[in-house]
Structure 1
Amino acid sequence: MIVVAANGWAQVPGKSDSGAGSQPKSKNGRKTVSKQRPRPNKRQVKQALAFARTHHSELASLIERLKAVRDRSAYDKAIAELSRTVQRIEPVKVTNPKRHAMLVELWKLESQARLMVARSMVKPDPKNDASLREILRERAELRRIMLQADIKRSRARVERFQSQLKALENLDKATDRELQRLRRSARMTVTRKLGRGGKTTAKQPVKPRKTTVKTTVKTKDKSKP
């Protein structure tokens, strides 16, 4: 990707060479059809360019130049590689921010070194050798730190495995512990179910209804004798 980007940066748009852009032919003269990868979608392009602008702005400028000169194949290839880098590095940011920062810095140094080498192939410049060696040295130092951290994590993991293995040396005791664990878990499950089923809501006392007694008063009809 870096070589392609550097070439795109160095070249000036102009007329293509004769036969450029045509499909390669096989020995029998027939055109070979190459398998084309799907182009990155808009979200992948946006994420990839944002990552490059943040951590290696010079590379982002070169990739955008590929789009400007309408080198679609090289542009898609560069975006696809950047997108794979983002998908590999960004998830680590949540689980291990410190390692994520080191991975980003490692990628940045690698990208800078590759870009310098690609430029020296297009236009050799011995003055850049010292800068390139410094970048490679810094990358090697960071890589060493990351490997030491990996060894430390691996040792801690091995210690956990050894502790678990030691607990299984006496199979009879291990069986008893497992049986007790299962019974304890079963009792807790039963207790929870009984607790949920035994809850009853207290009934409110029913207040007696007030009954109204209707009384009819008979009046004497004075019209009758």
Structure 2
Amino acid sequence: MQPTSRFTSLVLAAGLISSTAAVATAQPESIAVTPAREAKAIAFARKHHPELAELLSNLKKADAPAFENAIREVSQNTERLEKLRENDAERYELALRVWTLDSRIRLLAARSTMSNDPANESELRGLLSERQVLRLAMFKLDRERLVTRLERLEGQIGQLEADPKTAVENDLARIKREIKAAANRERRAAGGAAAKAPPKADPVGNKSGVRDRKPPAKDNSRDGGR
């Protein structure tokens, strides 16, 4: 088997892509493999799993359609983890480590199918143990958050059941405050608009806004009454 074909087989066996023939239907056409998406996916792999980045580089030379499908998968995982980092930094750290272990496990499993080296099985067992520890940590984190949320809900339920009338009055007071605040905003907005309004035009068309004054009456006394 040629080296490039061996790399392709390794990546295919690792489950990064289903098969070359399935590329057209495995991923939606809307997920285009742009140069930016490709560079970002490879940079992510190089940072968190260098061996995967090397395999992708060789796969690009050996099988372009399969390479694009693999890039789509890595890119989707990259975007998912980025969103998780923005919303939940604590869970992101665990999820990233799980992804790295998953990727290493798949490649090692693929290598094991091509070699009977007992060291591969030993390493694979170690990686699986690490992943199990991380999964357990994620489950415990989820449980702690659920317990906290449950305690908060129990407190809210207790308050409503203990004094429902006070809860109604509090809601009514809040609504009144919101109505008053909205009315004040409208008045301020109306006052500001009136202050900025241009002066009214003169009824007779004097654009300067100053009425024309009548000329003073002519004094005929100096003309001798003429």
TM-score norm. by structure 2 comes to: 0.67
Q: Is the 8 A contact 2:98 2:135 kept in 1?
A: yes
Identity %: 31
CA offsets, 1:73-108, max 9 Å, x none?
Answer: 221221111011011111222233332222111111
Match of 1:94 in 2: 86
| Aligned counterpart for 1:77 among listed residues 56, 69, 84 | 69
Report 1 or 2 for greater relative contact order, CA contacts < 8 Å, sequence distance ≥ 6: 1
Change (3 A) 1:10 1:163: closer
Q: Any residues of structure 2 matched to 1:39-78 within 5 Å, and which?
A: 39-69=32-62, 71-78=63-70
RMSD of Structure 2 on Structure 1 (CA): 2.9
Partners of 1:45 and 1:79 within 8 A in 2: yes
Aligned length in residues: 177
Q: State how 1:162-201 maps to structure 2 within 5 Å.
A: 162-169=154-161, 170-194=163-187
Whole-angstrom distance in 2 between the partners of 1:186 and 1:139: 54
Secondary structure at 1:90's aligned position in 2? helix
Letter in 2 for 1:119: R
TM-score of the pair, normalised by structure 1: 0.68
Structure 2 residue runs of 5 or longer lacking an equivalent are 12-19, 196-226
Q: Tell me, yes or no, if the aligned pair for 1:67 and 1:75 is still in contact at 8 Å.
A: yes
The CA distance in 2 between the partners of 1:92 and 1:10, in whole Å, is 30
> In the TM superposition, what is the alpha-carbon distance from 1:182 to its structure 2 partner?
0.8
1:107 aligns with: 99
Deviation at 1:174, TM superposition (A): 2.4
Cα displacement string for residues 20-76 of structure 1 (whole angstroms, at most 9, x for unaligned residues): x9x89xxxxxxxxx647434222221211111010001001001101112x122212
CA–CA distance in structure 2, aligned partners of residues 40 and 87 of structure 1? 14
Unaligned runs of 5+ in 1: 12-20, 25-33, 202-225
Q: Specify the alignment match of 1:28 in structure 2.
A: none
1:147 lines up with 2:139 in the alignment: yes
Amino acid across the alignment from 2:38: V
Deviation at 1:119?
0.6
Quote the Cα distance in structure 1 between the aligned partners of 2:6 and 2:172.
Answer: 66
Classify 1:92/1:127 alpha carbon distance in 2 versus 1 (closer, same or farther; 3 Å): same
